[in-house]
Structure 1
């Protein structure tokens, strides 16, 4: 909690030279940098609103002291040369690109967005409405269109749900999602569902997860909605509608811009890139790897100024996106969407630069805050990195809470991962005459399965996530599946079990250390922060502090 609250200060305070602080009354000066009373007051009030805490002198002083600590830590890291490190340079470029895209969106996409009373009223009704709906999921538009055609031809939701959801609760319930209300589903899903009357079926709807075909079963709206209720929630509704309209505007712009760029993909490099992302292919020797990186991958842009990215060009842009986003790419369609998005992002950045948005004071301030946030995180991690929990403390904690440390029940599992349900079903039929591990070695897409025979080892219920109950209910020797997992299909062979048992100290040691480590990390950090106060000059200007306290007290009693 202490670390999180310190990070909040980095986000709240605009520590930019020349941003007006020098012309305001300084509340304090830390290592030569002034912080104005007005800057502190604004951030402190925001902090109270976010946390729900009530102002008092003790809280005020704690906020001030933690602010000083944060500034000292960032200053020390800068003095130590963190800005010359490769990690800093990478993050700076990543933050710069992200902020340019946001600046472009603010100026070009969001500038004319307004929220009307009719929109607020519609959302207010949705807040007081519950829908019950079914849906069919498809990973691609082509699959979704095929499912929709089969529905139109007379096949039932229940039949198709058993097909698309494999062996899941949704398969058994005919895709029934139960009742849901406002802001509980994907925005595009919600928009389509609320536009339907009971019994109506939507065309395929693009969501963040793929495509859905929706049938509304029931709708219930609270019968009495008052103006007083509407007025009390109007501000929150307006913020919500504005946020959603901006997200919709951005999505629409990306779709239209991608179409205008006329993105085309070059083979065989693109197919090989998809196989790499899905874990189906690799490059073994340096010469082949170098040739692959230089191969043309994608072309886009107007006819008179089209450009082509090689695989290396693509990877240079892709590394500025989140690792989780890259790791989620399994199919060709997902890779195509990802590359189109990068091409549109590149165009937005270039337009923002051409308009000089990166020279605006507010842009420079936002970039500086982002960099300070990164520096703070890096510095904190380095300060506490050498923390050691004393051995006698670990053992004393174990003896005091021995009964709490248990090695959970585990079951051994083998897995075969394939791309399609039909392939999984075909392999399951062959299990009568071929060993599970032999099929895993030959057909499983899981990296390393050729060596392990699909053996995942002994796993706990928690490690298996939603599959946990199903696996732990199965008898040794049983084969489960096909089960859909993120657009692919698995077969699971259940092995022997290891029952739960008390954990001896050596097995519990890592968990005990995890439980106690934060306390010792914060002790180490506080000691370091105390040393920084002797190294750098810190001045709190008491007259300004007194005036600020009086102003806050007056505001509190007014």
Structure 2
């Protein structure tokens, strides 16, 4: 109902109350059989020193803060709050939430795939003493550089050839960059240190002499040609400094090797050359997904064509739609065109191959996996619980009215457009149709006769009024055009579209009374953290909580001495 773009904007920009409860959450076992010291009692549940130490040390490692009593008490209070929420509150609406169930199963798969990569890909990463000392030297250098960027190797090779022929670096930067800063400063990046940039980019830059220009290098973002302007060195490097930073450098080196190790692992289990994609099937699936945004799925049908195949694995439209349906909404929303659907289909097949390996190796039964999975499910539960509490909280009408007035721009309808379309595969034929329309032939009859999108063709090509953001890359073009205008042919995916603007509706402000429920929902999304703490305070009043602050203060956490 509301403008989706603006609604997302306000959600991303709002000031979130920072809650330690939602940060660095690690497994919590509510019943301890250990004989270690009890630090807190929550009703009939206990928090032992062993449980606390595990949680607290993980927090210290991730956050990088120094051990202190205030942090200890904060983490212990988090653990208390989790017990209150999980053991002394009604969680039926969370556990029965269909999206929660989908995301829980997705989380299980992701946890198992991550564990598989830990065992099969990352375990073999080795860092030698020589590697560590080279990295230590790099970590004490700063490099000043500039670069030229290209999306493809062909473009990068052409740029490199121009440089070799004497072309000016600054002039080429003006041609390749859209970012105004890089465009007019010659692609200047300033000074950077080891660990600041893409590993491939860094390794190339460190290997170049001052004034040197690299050949095109393939980074995670595309292709770069690097020119080193200057290098600064720390003139005094001691063995003490090296030993002090050795463990950190080792972690950094292993982290940098994860991507190559993962790539090698995937190459061993999956041969991309044996993967086949069938666009007819994908287009059928995409058409179904597109229609489901505009009408009920119960009214939709599709031909169950083949979408993809890898060796003896076949994925039909029904298989692909089922997998998409079992994907969390935040991933599902990314599948918006034929290219993203191709990527998704291949990704699902690779995921199936990896899941089979993990299941055959019985990784799901190993303690380390169970421990990590429990952490992830606990995080997931708390995410949904936070939202559930916010939606059930009692909020006064005056608070809602104030929120409505302060955010009035977000309570308008979307601009809406009604469009007629003709979709064909051949560009020259599309151009012929445009000429026939211009000479007076009826758009609707041509749509009925030639458009390959059957559900709109049956309606003379008319889509019906829909929010303009539903039209993706064409939304601005359609909205800026006059009613009656013929647009196209425009290429999208492997099709050519001709469009006629039938009507437009300007956005309208909803009266507060007519959308009070929506305002309430929006308010709760923006105030989740505050409402969560209010709810926890109520639970504190219902359940006896005892914390031994002195025991927490005196607790000797030996593991922290080695961090």
Q: Tell me by how many angstroms 1:237 deviates.
A: 3.2
Query: For 1:136, which of 147, 150, 166 is the aligned residue?
Result: 150
Report the equivalent of 1:474. none
Cα separation, 2, equivalents of 1:323 and 1:194: 42
Within a 5 Å distance, the mapping from 1:387-536 to structure 2 comes to 387=393, 389-392=395-398, 524-533=531-540, 535-536=542-543
Per the alignment, do residues 517 and 316 of structure 1 end up closer, same or farther by CA in structure 2, a change over 3 Å counting?
Answer: closer
- 1:124 and 2:136 aligned: no
Could you tell me whether the CA contact under 8 Å between 1:74 and 1:376 is conserved in 2? no
Cα distance 1:382–1:323, how it changes in 2: closer, same or farther (>3 A)? closer
Deviations 1:169-213 (A, max 9, x none): 47994995321535555555555666667334316x3635xxx34
Structure 1 match to 2:502: none
Aligned residue in 2 for 1:179: 189
TM-score normalised according to structure 2 size: 0.65
The residue matched to 2:271 in structure 1 has which SS?
A: helix
Q: 1:175 & 1:300 partners in 2: Cα distance? A: 47
- Residue 8 of structure 2 corresponds to none
- Structure 1 partner of 2:306: 296
* Contact persistence 2:387–2:525 (CA under 8 A): no
Matches within 5 A, 1:176-255: 177-179=187-189, 181-182=192-193, 183=195, 185-188=197-200, 190=202, 198-202=212-216, 205=218, 207=220, 212-216=222-226, 218-226=227-235, 228=237, 231=242, 233-255=245-267
CA RMSD of aligned residues (A): 6.5
1:344 aligns with 2:357: no
Shift of the 390–89 alpha-carbon distance from structure 1 to 2, 3 Å rule, reads closer
2:49 is matched with which residue: 16, 32, 37? 37
Where does residue 22 of structure 2 map in the other structure? 7
Aligned equivalents of 2:229 and 2:107: distance in 1? 45
Whether the 8 Å contact between 2:148 and 2:173 is mirrored in structure 1 is no
Q: Is the 8 A contact 2:279 2:307 kept in 1?
A: yes
- Asked if 1:74 is matched to 2:112, the reply is no
> Relative to structure 1, is the Cα distance of residues 398 and 130 closer, same or farther in structure 2, using a 3 angstrom cutoff?
same
Q: Secondary structure at the match of 2:187?
A: strand
Matched-pair contact (CA < 8 Å) for 1:132–1:177: yes
Aligned to 1:370: 376
Change (3 A) 1:31 1:226: farther
Specify the alignment match of 2:274 in structure 1: 262
* Deviation at residue 380 of structure 1 after TM alignment: 2.0
Q: Contact 1:264–1:300 (CA<8 Å) still a contact in 2?
A: yes
**Aligned match of 2:550:** 546
SS at structure 2 position matched to 1:22: coil
Distance 1:158 1:554, change over 3 A: closer
Q: Are 1:99 and 2:103 matched, yes or no?
A: no
How far apart in 1 are the matches of 2:294 and 2:523?
42
Change in 2 beyond 3 A, CA 1:172/1:310:
same
What is the CA–CA distance in structure 1 between the aligned matches of 2:539 and 2:277, rounded to whole Å?
A: 55
The 1:454/1:533 distance shift into structure 2, 3 A limit, reads closer
**C-alpha distance in structure 2 between counterparts of 1:92 and 1:130, whole Å:** 46
- What's the secondary structure of 1:289's corresponding residue? coil
2-side partners of 1:278 and 1:150: how far apart? 39
Question: Structure 2: which 5+ residue stretches go unaligned?
Answer: 1-15, 470-475, 477-491, 496-505
Distance 1:516 1:51 in 2: 31
Partner of 1:465: none
Alpha-carbon contact 2:22-2:382 (below 8 Å) kept: yes
Q: Does the residue aligned with 2:39 lie in a helix, a strand or coil?
A: strand
Measure the CA separation in 2 of the matches of 1:322 and 1:236: 35
CA contact (8 A) 1:26 1:37 kept: yes
User: Alpha-carbon deviations, 1:34-78, whole Å to 9, x = none?
Assistant: 321132134335545655767665654444333212221122457
Report how many aligned residue pairs link the two structures: 513
- Residues of 1 paired with 2:557 and 2:111: CA distance? 37
TM-score (norm 1): 0.65
For 1:277 and 1:365, the matched residues in 2 are separated by 37
Does the C-alpha gap of structure 1 residues 413 and 74 become closer, same or farther in structure 2, counting only changes over 3 Å?
closer
Deviation digits for residues 115-164 of structure 1, max 9, x if unmatched?
23255246526x611320011224xxxxx44x356557769799998887
- Following superposition, the deviation at residue 343 of structure 1 comes to 2.1
- Structure 1 distance, partners of 2:557, 2:224, is 55
SS at match of 1:268: helix
Conserved in 1, the CA contact under 8 Å of 2:307 and 2:315? yes
Give the Cα–Cα distance (whole angstroms) in 2 for the partners of residues 207 and 515 of structure 1. 37
Task: Show the counterpart of 1:312.
Answer: 318
Q: Partner residue of 2:488? A: none
Q: Deviations over 1:491-528 (max 9, x none)?
A: xxxxxxx9xxxxx999xx99999998689766654453
- Matched residue, 1:464: none
Stretch moving more, 350-359 or 258-267: 258-267
Contact 2:17 2:530 in 1 (8 A): no
Instruction: Work out whether residues 258 and 341 of structure 1, in 8 Å CA contact, stay in contact via their aligned partners in 2.
Output: no
Asked whether the equivalents of residues 175 and 183 of structure 2 are also in contact (C-alpha less than 8 Å), the reply is no
Distance 2:321 2:408 in 1: 45
Helix, strand or coil: the match of 1:380?
helix
Q: Please, which runs of 5 or more residues in structure 1 have no aligned partner? A: 139-143, 459-467, 469-484, 489-497, 499-503
Deviation at residue 12 of structure 1 after TM alignment = 2.6
- Residues 145 and 229 in structure 2, CA contact (< 8 A), matched pair in contact too: yes
